[in-house]
Each structure stands twice: as C-alpha cells, then as structure tokens.
Amino acid sequence: MATSDTSRIYAEQLDREDVLASYKEEFYLKEGTIYMDGNSLGLLSKRSEQSLLAALDSWRTYGIDGWTEGEHPWFYYAEKLGALMAPLVGAGDGEVVVTGSTTTNLHQLVATFYRSEGKRTKILADELTFPSDIYALQSQIRLHGLDPQVHLIQVKSRDGRTLNEDDIIAAMSDEVALVLLPSVLYRSGQLLDIERLSAAARERNIPIGFDLCHSIGAVSHELSLWGVDFAVWCNYKYLNAGPGSVAGLYVNRRHFGRIPALAGWFSSNKDVQFDMSHQLTPAEHAGAYQIGTPHILSAAPLMGSLSMFAEAGIDRLRAKSLRMTQYLMDLVESELSGMGFVIGNPMEDHRRGGHVCLIHEEAVRICKALKDNGVVPDFRAPDVIRLAPIPLYTSFQDIWDMVQRLKAIMTEKQYERYEKKRGVVA
C-alpha cells in the first residue's frame, strides 16, 4: 500500500513495527554505509561465518573421516542443504540439491532436457535475460550441430524493460523443444507469472525451466505445484552465502530416475557410489544432477544463512520486501520528482521482484556519487540504477536516509564531478 507520509518519523515507526528487525544485528554492516546491492552479493552474517568455521573445524578434527562423521558429514552435505532450501522454492523431498554454479547447472539440465527431434529443434528464451544463460543455450544448440541464429528464439520486449507473458506463450510453437526463462528480470525486476507459463508449456508438451537467481530468497515459489520441470539459481544474492558460493538446482520428481546428460562421480546413488563400477547407477532424486565432489567450504556459509530463512519464513520476508520496495518507490516519487528518474520496474506487487529499478540518463555518474556518499547501489548499462532493500538487514530508516542522500546528489549536481564511464566490474 502506497504511503503519503515521507517523514523520517514514519520510517522509524515502520522499523518499530517490523517483526524481522532483529535480524539486522545478525549481519556485518559497515558503519555509515547503506548497502543496497544485496541482489548482486548479499552481506556476511554471523551465522554464515560460524557455519564456515564449523566446516573448517570438521576438516581439522576428522580429516578424511569428515565425509562420514561430525554434525554435518560432507558425503550428504549437498542433499542436506537442498532439503533445507526446498521450502524457499516450494519443492518436495529430493527435488533440490546444492551443487555447481548457476551456469554449469544450466548446462547440465539443458543438456538433459533439450531433445532436438523432428521439427522440435528450437529453444525458447527472451531478449532481456542475463547473458550467461544465452551463452549456455547457444553452446548447447551448437553441440547438437545446429545454428543458434536459427534455433534460439528470443522473445522481444515491447518496451525494452519487461516481457509480456502473452508474447512468450504465443512463441511456444510446435518447433520448440525447450523453454528457459528468468523468474525475475535482472534489470527491471519484473516477476514473471511462472505458474501460467509452466501450464502453457505443459499443455504443449514442452519442458520448461527457470533461472531463479533474482528471486530465490526474496520471492516465494511453488515449483512442484506449478509443474516446473527444472530450475537453477545462485546462492550469493538474497541467500547471503558468499562470493562464488555453491549454487542450487531443482528437478521435478516426475523426472526422477532419468540419466543425467553430464554424469559424474556424485551423480551416483550413494549406496553404490564406492562400488567403483563403470556402470553408473544414478541417484533417484535431484542429486543425480551433481557432477563432481561437493565444494564443502564454498557451501558451508549457506548452512548458517538458511537457518535464518527457516526462522523468518519466506512469506514474511516477501511481505517485508514488498513493503520496502513500495516505500522506496513512494519516496522516489515524492522526494525526487522532476529530477529525471523513471521507475522501470512493474508497480504491482504480483509483478515485482525484490529490487527497484531506477532509470536515469546519468545513472553511471549517479552511482559513483552514491558510493562516495556512503550508499552501495548497483549500475546496469546503459542507464539503470538497481536498489535492493534486503528484508533481513535493511531498515526503513536506511531507505529514507538513502533517498535523502540521493536527493542531495541531484540537487547539488554532485554527479557532474564524475566521468560518465562504468568501471570494469559494474
């Protein structure tokens, strides 16, 4: 619900009413800095720090026996984390495993589900998705001896920022062998109607998968109920598992028992893995889509982080996220009116992910000024400022203060001091 009260007193009131406010004390926050880039890299929590130290202690204490001993034996670590994560995506037993990276998992699942047969040779994606997904799809098409220019369909955006579900469904022709879409568009923050799109694909007998990188931990999902075939995601954004942390994947249970396209050591059924047979017996769940040995130290911070998500509950986190992004948009419209900003994300709750997209022709210079004013934003070329208030560690006062700093930057034209050129990493 929009608010007309733009006072700091009101922000303080919202913080007093916030049932999740205490979680902010769980994170390492730099004094004087307002962190709005949690949709690129989440902050370190004390629980994640402790779960990483616990993994190191297990290595120190048990040596190789850490694979089967200790509080969290490594041999079962990926599946245990998957079970803890399953409620965040609405998955059933065995449908989630923590493994690989987003793109390696995408290669694994596309290689498994993309079957170019007869006239069904094409993969359907969109023109606004994250580039890595397109690179992977192009690679998989080439591996089939086909030309991505012909066999990769990218649905066009009507406005350059968002996608229309009607356009996506219309492109699900009898030539399409696979559909891959983002749950939330990484620039504009648009949340797609996963349930509707999955139903449309199922009616046409087309496997459909989703990249949840910009929704998991910020948006609740019901992947099993909606009949999604597969999904991939990273865990270092809203889930705060650390830079380069191990990713996750989901496979609907109706596909259990399928031989993974890219089989490896940890694709095996654990009961027979050490039989050392040259005939793979795949795990009878999502664990079959693992390839190599779990990266224990890169997965360990997730154990601590997921304990907070279990306590807070994804529904309460989503409710706060929506309230914070609405509050931020209200402040932008009232405090920054006439300063050239356009809100680029959908305004409706059911179409908005976890961040606010501000469009401005001076976005790159404004982001530089924000950082020098103690605000960490995120720039996306050519003109997008992404601001992500995170339910676990952002307060309403943080949002209010950030907008006031942005207002001063614009009023005083501080951004003019900076070169209009992004850094190597943006």
Binding residue numbers: 102-103, 130-133, 211, 214, 236, 265, 293
Residues 6 or more apart whose Cβ sits within 8 Å of residue 293: 265, 266
- Which of 241, 236, 359 is closest to 303 using CA atoms? 241
362 vs 407: CA distance, rounded Å: 14
* CA–CA separation, 260 and 110 (whole Å): 10
Which 3-state string (H, E, C) describes 261-282?
A: CCCCHHHECCCCHHHCCCCCCE
Count CB neighbours of 101 within 10 A.
17
Judge whether 42 and 390 are in contact, CB under 8 Å.
yes
**Token pair in block for residue 137:** 């799809």
CA 217 to chain centre: 7
**How many whole angstroms separate alpha carbon 180 and alpha carbon 174?**
16
Can you spell out the DSSP letters for 309-375?
Answer: HHHH-HHHHHHHHHHHHHHHHHHHHHHSTTSS-EE-S-SSGGGB-SSEEEE-TTHHHHHHHHHHTTE
* Binding positions for pyridoxal 5'-phosphate: 102-103, 130-133, 211, 214, 236, 265, 293
Q: The sheet that has 152-155: what strands, in order across it?
A: 96-98, 248-251, 230-233, 208-211, 176-182, 122-126, 152-155
Q: What are the angstrom distances between the C-alpha of 123 and each of 120, 150, 231?
A: 9, 10, 15
Q: Which residue has the tokens 């094409």?
A: 122
Is 95:253 a contact under the CB 8 Å cutoff?
yes
Q: How many CA atoms lie within 13 A of 184 on its CB side?
A: 28
CA distance 236 to 21: 21
Tell me how far CA of residue 297 lies from CA of 56, 139, 162, 243, 408, in angstroms.
7, 30, 38, 12, 43
